[in-house]
Structure 1
Amino acid sequence: MISQLAQAITAAGPGRLRVAVDGRTAAGKTSFGHELALAIVELGRPVLRASLDDFKRPWRERHLYDRESGEGYYRNAFDYDRVKSLLLEPFAHGECALCAIDPRTQVDHSDLVTPAGRDAVLVVDGVFAFRAELNACWDYRIWLEVRPELSVARGLDRDGGDLSVLTDRYLVSENIYLAEEEPLLRADAVVDNTDFVAPVLLRLRAITAQA
């Protein structure tokens, strides 16, 4: 299934491509992005990897906005201007910063630029990737579908901690996203990722070959 997706993406022919992997918390976006990147490399294309988690606003500025409620997290957590100006737009011209601010250390790495060859594919995972601010930047969009209750259970297994963060912040913010942006309608591919071992491909569109 991953190979099918890799082939559908690279069928566009030569030229840089930007691919987004979106879905609820703990849907498996990061692992899926890694596996997809490897499959694209096996087809002979260089791949760069990035995560939207590395483009959040710094914690030191959290007194300026609400980032802890579900509504606030959805509206304010990510810096979409930097996603575009550091990652997505410069990639199209041959180089980009793959990380703005490390979410754990809060160190700013935006001055570290990585070259992107003419046939490079950028695979970016992250929640809210198909928001209106970013949607036009993607050449291919993949949505990983999991039930909300499974997202919460997996989030607890992965992160531990406070259940309310998952239910009152992440789940609420994702429900706002689904209602406002309808990301499944924007997806070129939809994968039921309920079972990590046996994901099911529900939708697959090929990219039109570039002239």
Structure 2
Amino acid sequence: MLDPNKLKGSLNRNRRYVIGIDGLSRSGKTTFVEKVKAILEKKQIDCTIIHLDHHIVEKHERYQTGMDSWVEYYHLQWDVERLRDALFRELATASSLTLPFYYYAKDECRDEEIRLPSEGVIVVEGVFLQREEWRAYLDHVYFLDCPRETRFNRESEHTQANINKFQERYWKAEDYYMNKVHPLSKADHVLLT
């Protein structure tokens, strides 16, 4: 788990410390982030949480594009280059970020500003976080490793009923990520969840 005393030594006044929480769908990332946030707050370390799922693109950009559905999920779910430029490159030093926020009910994205503390920790949480375009901007990465069956059982019964979507979209993209990017070996810590 996170050692805030070691972390304090990594913080300085010119740059924030950026922690990535990576893991496949339903591996426990959000729960882990809440624990990290509580630890940091207890040590009075400013902390900002960024959930990548808040920054996906509109449906017409990621569904029924003519590509295999797993390719859409892995390559089109996020505007990878925009997030690299507007989010990841700026995390350590910018005073604020302007990012696209996705609103599910209206299937639309709106640019909004996030203010960042002058010093402290930024925690970025999301699937496929260690892709080549983003990994270099993360100071420390935790990968939450959880068996597929366990993760699938965490889905609602309604969601589980559409197993074909998992087989064709999510699991193929996850396999691609695990085999191409090798997040287990690139993470600083791997935690079994």
State the match for 1:184 in structure 2.
Answer: 184
Whether the aligned pair in 2 keeps the contact of 1:25 and 1:155 (CA below 8 Å) is no
Structural RMSD (CA): 2.4
Question: Is the Cα–Cα contact under 8 Å of residues 50 and 99 in structure 1 kept in the other structure?
Answer: no
The 8 Å contact of residues 97 and 115 in structure 2, kept in 1 or not, is answered as yes
Q: State the AA in 1 paired with 2:180.
A: E
Supply the distance in 2 between the matched residues of 1:158 and 1:98 (Cα, whole angstroms): 32
| CA pair 156-66 structure 1, distance change in 2 beyond 3 A | farther
For 1:18, the aligned partner's letter is V
Question: Would you identify which runs of 4 or more consecutive aligned residues in structure 1 move more than 6 Å?
Answer: none
Paired position in structure 1 for 2:102: 101
Q: Is the 8 A contact 2:103 2:109 kept in 1?
A: yes
Partner Cα distance (1:35, 1:122) in 2: 14
CA contact (8 A) 1:7 1:40 kept: no
Consecutive unaligned residues in structure 2, runs of 5 or more: none
- Normalising by structure 1, we get a TM-score of 0.79
1:131 aligns with 2:140: no
How high is the TM-score relative to the length of structure 2? 0.85
Aligned-partner Cα distance in 1 for 2:54–2:74: 16
Distance 1:174 1:8, change over 3 A: farther
Q: Percent identity?
A: 22
Q: Shift in Å at residue 125 of structure 1?
A: 1.0
**Structure in which a larger fraction of residues adopt strand:** 2
Contact conserved, 1:143 with 1:184, CA < 8 A, in 2?
yes
Q: What residue in structure 2 maps to residue 140 of structure 1?
A: 140
Matches within 5 A, 1:129-208: 129-156=129-156, 159-193=159-193
The aligned length equals 190
Secondary structure of the 1:109 match is strand
Structure-to-structure mapping, 1:18-37, within 5 angstroms = 18-37=18-37
Deviations 1:2-46 (A, max 9, x none): xx3444444413230221111111001112112212211222211
Task: Output the CA distance in 1 between the equivalents of 2:6 and 2:192.
Answer: 18
CA distance in 2 between partners of 1:5 and 1:51 (Å): 22
CA distance in 2, matches of 1:17, 1:159: 36
